Amino acid sequence: MTKGFETDVARAALDAGLTRLGENRVQEALPKIEALPGAEWHLVGRLQRNKVRKAVAAFALIHSVDSVELLRRLTDEANDTGLAPRLLLQVNVTAEPTKAGFARERLDEALPAIGNRVVGLMTMARHDADADEQRRTFATLRDLRDRLQERAGIGLPELSMGMSGDAEAAVAEGATLVRIGTAIFGPRPG
């Protein structure tokens, strides 16, 4: 995650061999993406509906598809432009009111809209969760993914879960993508 860091920090990461870089906001990402076309850019933050067109054009993977409406808008925009970002459905496994995402029990609502662009699921553990709770959260997402794969009849290989503080628990439960900006870049400036 290069959120809050200048382009030169992202460039140093790319020069050091990191090829996948993430951003929380479309507007903050666009100058970095233009300056560093050799990176595979991921949008991990919440996507505002009015930024769909820019996000489809800029990102290889969007981790934060939190509604059927957004999924359809992204798919329509990708089809209209011929661009093909991969998509992850964000699931609010912990049912925290401050977090976006599909409720666990409503994830099936996305089934009719899932196409070949959806490649997996994303979640976040509670910020103050202990290691056992983190693992339960991530295991729940993995189980939800397995059931959704079966119902949809398609492969969903990606599980985006875990950040710097809970990456080990996420990897232990099958994470394929871990968001570890703080561990790489340090605390965000200002």
Walk me through the domains of the chain, giving residue ranges and CATH numbers.
7-185 (3.20.20.10)
CA dihedral of 182, 14, 5, 98, whole degrees rounded to 10: -50
| Closest C-alpha to 117, from 151, 150, 152, 144 | 152
Q: What is the pTM of this model?
A: 0.94
Give pLDDT tens digits along the chain (190 positions).
Answer: 677 788 998 999 999 999 999 999 999 999 999 999 889 999 999 999 999 999 999 999 999 999 999 999 999 999 999 998 999 999 999 999 999 999 999 999 998 888 889 999 999 999 999 999 999 999 999 999 999 999 999 999 999 999 999 999 999 999 999 998 888 887 877 6
Separation of alpha carbons 138 and 147, rounded Å: 14
